[in-house]
Amino acid sequence: MADNINKLTAAIHRNLQITLNNKLKDFSIGSGQHDFFYVISLHEGITQKELSEWLYIGKSTTAKAVKNLVAHGYIRKEKDERDKRYDRLYLTDEGRQNSARIHETFKGIVEITTKHLSQSEIEQTIDVLRTILNNVLAENKEINADQ
Amino acid sequence: MADNINKLTAAIHRNLQITLNNKLKDFSIGSGQHDFFYVISLHEGITQKELSEWLYIGKSTTAKAVKNLVAHGYIRKEKDERDKRYDRLYLTDEGRQNSARIHETFKGIVEITTKHLSQSEIEQTIDVLRTILNNVLAENKEINADQ
DNA sequence: TCTGATTAGTTTCAAGTGCAACTAATTAGA
DNA sequence: TCTAATTAGTTGCACTTGAAACTAATCAGA
């Protein structure tokens, strides 16, 4: 078997998590929560549903990540007044203090991954990956309409 | 934030795992072990170290996956006679009976991911992903020489 | 208006994963 | 040859994740 896209995306994902954990070892939240924090810091007021959709991750995982971020004092939840089913998410002061550090780290991750690649290679790859993701999501939707 | 390669590979990986789990729901081993079984079926006699390197996955995860596959009767271990540190892995009869099914499923996964893509797009993407993976591995090696 | 369906978020359970510390086997160097 | 270092594999721990069943709030249709 030669390399294929599935194996490579899996390997990249796993090993990038390791990179991220190393770079943010002293930051007192677990590896999965960095992404959530990052997105919230870019889109304050986002709901958990939107966060799940943005990251293409299950809502139960989002609920737990958010719970942890709140417990660590980095973000806070606020009930939407017009529809009390929604929780809107905002950075706390402590979250805001750590925000720049996270942004730098994420920028560094992008630089690491794109080393030795031209801008057009990167753009084309992003396009193809987006197509692949849509293919996979369509396949999963076919099987199960929910979640 | 626009989509980036890290987010896309993570999303593809997570959602492909869901696809695979759905397709192999009735197969009595967990999601992570399908990949291991597949590689072993293609390379009988492979060691756990080689398996870890092939999948770019940690050796402790490999040890547990192999343990489960053995417990379920799909594969067997055999000590290398020349160097007893190595365990060599082989399919059992039951493993061999299920092998074709797994191969078909993996082929189906490739077909799903590559829908709407030309052969050259796929090949170029694989090249880029390989470069990215090497970038990430090099970065991690810099931090930690072992594992 | 009221009842049933839908929706956002939570919780429990089972499973995969990495890290660190471990054992057993082998190799390298004094 | 013998001791220290290396190497393959294992185990315990912490953490992430998805599925399924749940609650609370809202919406849609009779």
A11 touching B (Cβ < 8 Å): yes
If you measure CA to C1', which residue is closest to nucleotide D16? A32
Q: Which residue has the higher pLDDT, A43 or B2?
A: A43
pLDDT at A142: 75
> Average pLDDT of B64-83?
95
Q: Using CA atoms, how far apart are residues B82 and B22, in angstroms rounded to an integer?
A: 41
**HEC profile for B30-42?**
CHHHHHHHHHHHH
A129 touching B (Cβ < 8 Å): yes
pLDDT tens per residue across span A59-115: 999 999 999 999 999 999 999 999 999 999 999 999 999 999 999 999 999 999 999
- Distance of A54 CA from D26 C1′ (whole Å): 23
Above 50 in pLDDT, residue A147? no
Please indicate, yes or no, whether the overall pTM of this predicted structure exceeds 0.75. Answer: yes
Above 90 in pLDDT, residue B25? no
> Average pLDDT of B57-66?
97
> Which SS3 state, helix, strand or coil, does residue A79 take?
strand
Instruction: Detail the protein residues whose CB sits closer than 7 A to any atom belonging to strand C.
Output: A 14-15, 17-18, 21-22, 47-50, 52, 59-60, 63-64, 66-67, 77, 85-87; B 29-33, 57-58, 60-61, 64-65, 68, 82-85, 144, 147
Above 70 in pLDDT, residue A143? no
The answer to whether the CB of A32 falls within 8 A of the CB of B22 is no
Please classify residue B60 by burial: count the beta carbons closer than 10 Å to its beta carbon, then call 0-12 exposed, 13-18 middle and 19+ buried.
exposed
The answer to whether the CB of B139 falls within 8 A of the CB of A21 is no
CA dihedral A38, A64, A19, B137 (to 10 degrees): -120
Q: How far does B25 lie from chain A, in Å, by closest CA?
A: 12
Rg of chain B over all Cα atoms, to the nearest angstrom: 17
pLDDT-based confidence at B144, cuts 50/70/90?
low
pLDDT tens per residue across span A12-39: 999 999 999 999 988 878 888 999 999 9
pLDDT tens per residue across span A109-122: 999 999 999 999 99
Tokens of A54: 């943005």
Protein-proximal positions, strand C, CB < 7 A: 7-12, 15-21, 24-27
Above 70 in pLDDT, residue A54? yes
- Distance of A58 CA from C2 C1′ (whole Å): 34
